[in-house]
Chain A
């Protein structure tokens, strides 16, 4: 920087050393405007930011002192376009001429500082537009605005400088072109490293909030205090005290005793409640021991008694009553289902509900064991009556239950809840009528538990337990369409569709039978939901039970309220055997040990046991098994191992009976020879019988 040039003129000359075109232009415009409104800008500048301390210039000590005249003197300087630092003698190798050649072109451009300004030329289009925009304001306004803009630009410039501490002289010089106020210098500071900045933090805005709370409640009180009132009060109080003292004197002896007693009671109670959980097992064992003692003779009978009278009777046998199971809370509830546990042969489940349409109330699910006939092992009560139940073969702790209100539920004996683990609801497709039978199925392909249910709403539903949720799908609807297929008869059967019982074939997975309230039996397949494989006009009244023979794959039995029990070959439309029992038949069951033996119970309180191989026409045992004649027997089940049956009646009692030897005998002659071939013998035995019936039946048909 040439020292002789005074400050003002220096401004107009801008970047001297290099011909920096850009800054020069903007600067000239700036300086023009500044010179013009020098006075105004000082004031405005000060006014605009009073808080910024004015800039002061530092004069180099060797600066020439010039007089006023000298200062005003115009100094002419010629600017050349040559960069003094640019090398003049660059030599490059030219491949074309294969020699080093000096290069004539020299880059003269040197940029020392560049800044894109936010200023507008007043004469430019943009400037005019802007001034036109503000022309509504007083004439001075545009001037002011330009000045402010200038200052803002300078502030920015300095900000950028601060970042780079090593500032070249040129840049510093440019930074020194501040607004005129600098002329009024007050303080000398180092221009190169001194910088003052100010900022204003945000003032927190002030808000007003008011609230009014309710004044605390008050009350008034008045009284008079004088000597006689005080005296009276004391006298009354003393009398009270005396009375209470007298009472206390009388009490203590009594109360002490009471306290002692209470203490004893409390301790005993506490100890009980504390230890109950620990003692449960021991208590259970003791309870069973006591029961074993009490019912010792019955237990002996169960194990060893074989009725010697059977020897002298020809074919007939008897039923020996053993234990009787009952529970107070289930006294008025009919036994609606019984089922042996497949794993624990002494355990069976009893469902309580009501068959009476008019007297529906709660239901109860009880599990008894023969080891403790006095009290049920498990007790579950439900809001709706239980109509049917089944225990899972592989998971003997899972019980599925069908309710009168159409719901199905799964109880888990492992869990101590009194509520079912899973239950269907109106949302999840429950039946709209009582569920008459439920049956566990083998786990499906995904190993989900699943079971079937049948209800008088005509649906047979397959329930699958998927991720703790019961998912239902209708297998068959015993709908009107299915029946109209029958043709002319269909007219009468418009209303049918009430399933009451079903049974799945032991071997053929898809095959199952459905008994209906109208007395029809449908042979269905799981794979055809709209069609029946076969229809049997089985009974005149509701079919109460259907059941496949455990040995013979073709044979099934059905019973009905029309007093009959019928045995069928599922390939033939007419029954093989028909037995009339003179009363509505509630249930029928095949014996697990023989293909030809079955038992039926009738509502007149009798149990009938048949052995076809001994008597094809009459029961070999026909015995009333309930105390009062009014009691109706509702269900019967054979124990899968022991020669006993359990019978449930509509008073909530379950009776256990032992079959006498005649009722379960294998012909003695055969015992030595063929006993090992059990199943085949059984099949052959029944086949033989069927052939006897079949041939005469088929011959007339031909």
Chain B
């Protein structure tokens, strides 16, 4: 029982602690990075259950703000190899279980 209690506590802790956006890799300039990160957070929170919609929202907003063509991948587990334009890549984790990869390549 104690174990499970501790486990639950840990899980809660884990969820609480690991909810912040963690940028894993990016080569964006400062302003763009902040904006893109906030956008990803908003999208993932808005469409917590639908990665597709979140990705769509991120992509469209990025297209508007920084010109086409942006690509977005959101998921809990995936491997990828992409070609991106330099200074236009953001790979971040969010919410403890989501990985978001945003890049531009036209």
**14 extra interface residue pairs, beta carbon distance < 8 Å, beyond A223-B91, A223-B101:** A220-B82, A221-B82, A221-B84, A221-B89, A222-B79, A223-B80, A225-B75, A225-B99, A226-B77, A227-B77, A227-B97, A230-B76, A230-B96, A237-B22
Q: Is the interface of B mostly helix, strand, loop or mixed?
A: strand
The B-contacting residues of A in range 227-268, CB under 8 angstroms, are 227, 229-231, 233-234, 237-238
Residues on the B chain within 8 Å of A237, using CB: 22
| A165-221 with Cβ < 8 A to chain B | 216-221
Q: How far is the CB of B22 from chain A (nearest CB, A)?
A: 5
Is A80 an interface residue when CB atoms closer than 8 A count as contact? no
Q: Which of the residues B18, B25, B83 comes within 8 Å of A223, measured between beta carbons?
A: B25
Q: Which residues of A contact B (CB under 8 A)?
A: 216-227, 229-231, 233-234, 237-238
CB distance from A409 to the nearest CB of B (A): 53
Asked whether, in the complex, the Cβ of A225 is within 8 Å of the Cβ of B79, the reply is: yes
Assuming A223-B24, A225-B76, is B84 touching A218 (CB within 8 A)?
A: yes
Given the complex, which residues of B lie within 8 Å of A226, measured CB to CB?
76-78
Query: In the assembled complex, which residues on chain A have CB atoms less than 8 Å from the CB atom of B93?
Result: 225, 230, 233-234
Out of A216, A230, A231, name the residue touching B85 (CB < 8 Å).
Answer: A216
B75 (CB) vs chain A CBs: closest residue: A225
List chain B residues, Cβ under 8 A from A231. 18, 96
Query: What's the dominant secondary structure at chain A's contact region?
Result: mixed
With a cutoff of 8 Å between Cβ atoms, the chain A residues found around residue B82 in the complex are 220-222
Interface positions of B from 1 to 60, Cβ below 8 Å from A? 17-18, 22, 24-25, 27
Of the A-B pairs whose beta carbons lie under 8 Å apart in the complex, a sample of 26, sorted by A's number, is: A216-B86, A217-B86, A218-B83, A218-B86, A219-B27, A219-B83, A219-B85, A219-B86, A221-B81, A221-B82, A221-B89, A221-B91, A222-B82, A223-B80, A223-B101, A224-B78, A224-B79, A225-B78, A225-B99, A225-B101, A226-B76, A226-B77, A226-B78, A227-B77, A238-B17, A238-B18
Contacts of A218 in B (CB 8 A): 83-86, 105
In whole angstroms, what is the CA distance A509 to B11 when docked?
109
B103 proximal to A (CB < 8 A)? yes
B77 → chain A closest CB, angstroms: 4
Q: Are A233 and B22 in contact (CB under 8 A)?
A: yes
What is the distance, in angstroms, from B38's C-beta to the closest C-beta of chain A? 18
Task: Give residues 92-106 of B contacting A (CB, 8 Å).
Answer: 93, 96-99, 101, 103, 105
Residues A225 and B22 in contact in the complex (CB < 8 Å), given A217-B85, A219-B84, A220-B82? no
User: Which residues of the partner chain A approach B91 to less than 8 Å between Cβ atoms?
Assistant: 221, 223
Contacts A216-B86, A227-B77, A238-B17; is A221 near B99 (CB within 8 Å)?
no
A220 and B84 form a contact (CB under 8 A): yes
Q: Which residue of B lies closest to A226 (CB)?
A: B77
Q: Which residue of B lies closest to A217 (CB)?
A: B86
Interfacial chain B residues near A225, Cβ < 8 Å: 75-80, 93, 99, 101
A220–B84 CA distance with the chains assembled, in angstroms? 6
Given the complex, which residues of B lie within 8 Å of A219, measured CB to CB? 27, 83-86, 89
Task: Please name the residue on chain A nearest to B27 by beta carbon.
Answer: A219
The CA-CA distance from A231 to B101 in the complex, in Å, is 17
Which of chain B's residues have a CB closer than 8 A to the CB of A220? Answer: 81-84
A222 to B24, CA, bound (A): 12
CB distance from A371 to the nearest CB of B (A): 59
Known contacts A216-B85, A217-B86, A223-B25: does B18 contact A234 (CB below 8 Å)?
yes
Residue from A221, A229, A234 having most chain B Cβ neighbours under 10 A: A221
Chain B residues lying within 8 Å of A238, measured Cβ to Cβ, are 17-18
Chain A residues with Cβ under 8 A from B17's Cβ? 234, 238
- Interchain CA distance A216-B68 in the complex, whole Å: 13
A172 to B105, CA, bound (A): 76
What's the minimum C-beta distance from A84 to chain B, rounded to whole angstroms?
Answer: 88
